[in-house]
Amino acid sequence: MKPALTDLGLNLAHDSFDSDRDQVIAEAVAAGVGHFVITGSTLESSRRAIDLARVSPRQLRATAGVHPHHAREFHDRDIPTLKELMQAAEVGAAGECGLDHFRNFSSPEDQERAFRAQLELAAELDRPVFLHQRDAHAAFIEILDEYLPSLPAAVAHCFTGNRHELEDCLARGLSIGVTGWICDERRGHHLRELVRLIPPDRLMIETDAPYLLPRDLSPRPKSRRNEPKYLPHILRTIADCRGDDWTTLARVTTANAMKFFGFPVSPAKGHT
């Protein structure tokens, strides 16, 4: 029997899915993915994520937030709008929010301002947070430490850091999301060792589709678009690296994500 997996990070509102969104979900369900968290990275994509989640609320959840790349577009006048979005019944977490000093599409100052604003909202609304961090670990942890006592839970989405960064996150009680980055022999090889350090009750899996197509898929898809149907491949890679039974790991990671994002207790039967 195929596992009923949960993809904790899927950019389903991305325009690359506009022509075949329902088919993408149907193929993922056929592959054994039962639940999906649709990432919000701007005010508009958060609205779209919520609208999509409303189509099948037992199967789909959304996040509502502003990615650090878009922090320069987020202003104090937008806070009431984001607060309203975060309060939607379909929203399971605040974010994607955090810091990204790898590209600095927004200035570090704008990123910090937007990050703090979202953490304050999450604390006020008692929402878990869906976190992004790249090349900004020290500043990220310093800010996060101010708010963690007031937050119900947090997940480090798409973790790609080193052992020190992982230990910092784990010491603070964060859950860890692992993507197909672990399947990339150029950049993700170190994760094959680090993933063994993550306690089972804090591990979740994700595709971050349409990004981060696993490089070791065989045969390699003609399209470079990542899809949630490849989540079982990521699960098996993680299980092999940890020395875990993959069906057991499927149940554990699914239970973690279902609880974190507040999915209904009874499993979904399919996309409606």
Residue 266 lies in a domain: no
Q: What pLDDT does 40 receive? A: 98
Range of the domain at 16: 5-261
- When pLDDT is averaged across residues 122-149 and rounded to a whole number, the result is 98
Residue by residue, DSSP assigns 219-240 as: SPPSS----GGGHHHHHHHHHH
Q: How far apart, in whole angstroms, are the C-alpha atoms of residue 69 and residue 78?
A: 16
Q: What is the pLDDT of residue 223?
A: 86
Question: What was the pLDDT predicted at 267?
Answer: 44
Q: What is the pLDDT of residues 217-270, one digit of tens each?
A: 988 888 899 999 999 999 999 999 999 999 999 999 999 999 999 998 654 444
Residue-wise pLDDT for 92-101, tens only, equals 999 999 999 9
Average pLDDT over every residue of 192-202: 97
Residue 268 lies in a domain: no
Read off the CATH number of the domain in which 87 is found: 3.20.20.140
Q: Note whether residue 270 is domain-resident.
A: no
| Cα 232 to Cα 221: distance, rounded to the nearest angstrom | 15
Average model confidence (pLDDT) across the chain: 95
Q: 161 in a domain, yes or no?
A: yes
pLDDT of residue 271: 45
Per-residue pLDDT band at 198 (split at 50, 70, 90): very high
What is the value of pTM for the model shown? 0.94
The CA-atom distances, in angstroms, between 181 and each of 42, 56, 211, 226, 268 are 23, 29, 10, 12, 28
On whether residue 196 sits in a domain, the answer given is yes
In a domain, 272, yes or no: no
- Tell me the one-letter amino acid at 244: D
Q: Which residues contact 263 (CB under 8 A, 6 or more apart)?
A: 6, 35, 58, 61, 92, 257
Q: What is the Cα–Cα distance from 136 to 165, expressed in whole angstroms?
A: 10
Please give the DSSP secondary-structure letter assigned to residue 159: -
Cα 116 from Cα 94, distance rounded (Å): 12
**The token pair that represents 36 in the structure block:** 């999906």
Total tally of structural domains belonging to the chain: 1
Percent of the chain predicted with pLDDT > 90: 90
CA distance 232 to 250: 9
Q: Considering the domain boundaries, does residue 269 fall inside one? A: no
Position 69 in a domain: yes
Per-residue confidence (pLDDT) for residue 1, from 0 to 100: 53
